[in-house]
Structure 1
Amino acid sequence: MKDAATMSGTYATFSDDSFAGRSVLITGAASGMGLETARAFASKGAEVVMADRDEAGLKRYGAELRSGGAAVHTVTVDVSDQESIDKAFDYCDANLARLDNVVTCAAIITAKRIFEQDRAHWHRVLDVNLLGTFFVVQGAVKRMLDNPDGGNIVCIASDAGVHGGGGLIADTAYAASKAGTLSMVKSVARELAGKKIRINALNPGPTDSPMHSHIDQSLKDRIAGNLPMRRMGRPEDMAAAIMFLCSDAASFTYGAALDVDGGSMFR
């Protein structure tokens, strides 16, 4: 278990009150990158809404963060279900003074070869990774348009959305869903120009997190050896970059895709 003091030290670049008085909704917050992002924001004073379909994980980690003094809410959401998304935003409307930041970490990763992917597979991946992300963004924009200071949205894409999948780590459906996320972020950014709402994407490289539990250690070692940084990414690497994109330090970063990938993009 990580307490608030430990987390504060981990993200020492940000002062302990960097996000005091601000709120953040994080989907996929019961594990991996989403959980680490919730911990990071909580350690810097944010009011955090952890959203996930894993009720047990929400209960466990929500209690962990509250025990350290953080202001944390938990709400069950399945981003492939529009009604579930709507209920999550209804919860935010009822329990937050305003919604300042939204981070879309909810996703599934799949690694099937081309002839193993049927329509049901593609629908499942796109429903969660692309459509789910879009409708969370849509709900965020609706609230942020009423905020005098706008808001920040960070959508988690992937380096696979740029250079493809291949079936070993991530497959075609996953890569296409993340390429769609990158295009969606740019499209929404164009539409929101001048509205005080910043939307950006994060492109994580291979990250050692529960999402990559389908990769055995020997393959992880091979991946790490092929990266210029000679290691896989960690959830902490991604959480720090997400906080940057939501911070005042990124006030002129708009419609961008930040690569946090250990150099995988230029291998």
Structure 2
Amino acid sequence: MTDNYATFANDAFAGRSVLITGAASGMGLETARAFASKGAEVIMCDRDTKGLEQHAGALRESGAKIHAVTVDVSNPDSISKAFAYCDEKLERLDNVVTCAAVITAKRIFEQDWAHWERVLGVNLLGTFFTVQAGVKRFLENPQGGNIVCVASDAGVCGGGGLIADTAYAASKAGTLSLVKSMARELAGKKVRINALNPGPTDSPMHSHIDQALKDRIAANLPMRRMGRPTDMAAAIMFLCSDAASFTYGSALDVDGGSMFR
């Protein structure tokens, strides 16, 4: 593991569990690795069964407590089956992290109805129904639980079609509103919900961006580099930790300064 996690004790999440969507690659995979390294029991969810099993197997070999569940978050029945698995296999579920997403970069007149249905189906509807299932368990759990929804700086600043498009940006803006709305409704309950706003991140999700464009993006960021999945995983662990016990309904910007310019 990288130094991003050095501030967390090796047993920081021992005895706790976390369900992570989009866990077969990028930010979701790194978040699974991070939690596993600190003692958590991790339920890795993704629609990429082959990638999921490969990475879950590697983590199990290191001694981590890992479950791999094939989930398509655009399908509510698939989400229900994943949480039914948790009900069967876990003593209790403590954290839910929604990393599953698709990123698209199409100009306005290249986007048709099917495009919007796909993006919203995964990024917004998939997030809502995953969170809904988690909240149901947390309200029945005396210990409550934590939820982190991965949004994006595009949800605040917009897309533009070069890195992310209108549909993607709108889906992430919806995720930010979802978090605040659910936080209002859940006020006073033992459930914390927050969002993470990553900035440009060098991960498999951005494979549609060539290196020259990545270099230009990095040069224009105050931190002079793109984010890494480890940066996001560390922030997600913070939001799920006791150190963030008074952080509620917020959106944590981990963006290298992209949004303060």
Q: TM-score when scaled to structure 2? A: 0.99
Secondary structure in 1 matching 2:39 = coil
- Per the alignment, residue 56 of structure 1 pairs with 50
Moved over 3 A (4+): none
Take 2:3 and 2:235, find their aligned partners in 1: how far apart are those partners?
16
- Per the alignment, residue 189 of structure 1 pairs with 183
Once the 2 structures are TM-superposed, how far is the Cα of residue 266 of structure 1 from its aligned partner?
1.2
Contact in 2 for aligned 1:8/1:40 (Cα 8 Å): no
Match of 1:134 among 101, 111, 128: 128
1:104 has 2:98 as partner: yes
Take 2:4 and 2:218, find their aligned partners in 1: how far apart are those partners?
22
1:120 has 2:109 as partner: no
Take 2:174 and 2:192, find their aligned partners in 1: how far apart are those partners?
18
Contact in 1 for aligned 2:12/2:39 (Cα 8 Å): yes
1:230 has 2:230 as partner: no
Match of 1:260 among 232, 245, 254: 254
Secondary structure in 1 matching 2:58 = helix
Take 1:179 and 1:69, find their aligned partners in 2: how far apart are those partners?
38
Contact in 2 for aligned 1:20/1:44 (Cα 8 Å): yes
* Unaligned 5+ runs, structure 2: none
Match of 1:208 among 202, 207, 213: 202
The one-character-per-residue Cα deviations of 1:31-86 (angstroms, maximum 9, x if unpaired) are 00000000000000000000000001111100111111100000000000011000
Contact in 1 for aligned 2:4/2:234 (Cα 8 Å): no
Once the 2 structures are TM-superposed, how far is the Cα of residue 10 of structure 1 from its aligned partner?
4.7
Contact in 2 for aligned 1:104/1:156 (Cα 8 Å): yes
- Per the alignment, residue 68 of structure 1 pairs with 62
Aligned residues: percent identity? 82
Secondary structure in 2 matching 1:224 = helix
Secondary structure in 2 matching 1:142 = helix
- Per the alignment, residue 166 of structure 1 pairs with 160
- Per the alignment, residue 89 of structure 2 pairs with 95
The letter of the residue matching 1:64 is: A
Take 2:231 and 2:225, find their aligned partners in 1: how far apart are those partners?
12
Secondary structure in 2 matching 1:202 = strand
1:12 has 2:6 as partner: yes
- Per the alignment, residue 44 of structure 1 pairs with 38
Q: TM-score when scaled to structure 1? A: 0.97
The one-character-per-residue Cα deviations of 1:191-223 (angstroms, maximum 9, x if unpaired) are 000111000000000000000000000000000
The letter of the residue matching 2:49 is: E
* Unaligned 5+ runs, structure 1: 1-6
Once the 2 structures are TM-superposed, how far is the Cα of residue 146 of structure 1 from its aligned partner?
1.1
Take 2:242 and 2:143, find their aligned partners in 1: how far apart are those partners?
12
- Per the alignment, residue 193 of structure 2 pairs with 199
> What is the aligned residue count?
261
Take 1:245 and 1:181, find their aligned partners in 2: how far apart are those partners?
16
The letter of the residue matching 1:119 is: W
Contact in 2 for aligned 1:8/1:44 (Cα 8 Å): no
The one-character-per-residue Cα deviations of 1:122-153 (angstroms, maximum 9, x if unpaired) are 11100000000000000000000011110000
Secondary structure in 2 matching 1:266 = coil
Contact in 2 for aligned 1:8/1:43 (Cα 8 Å): no
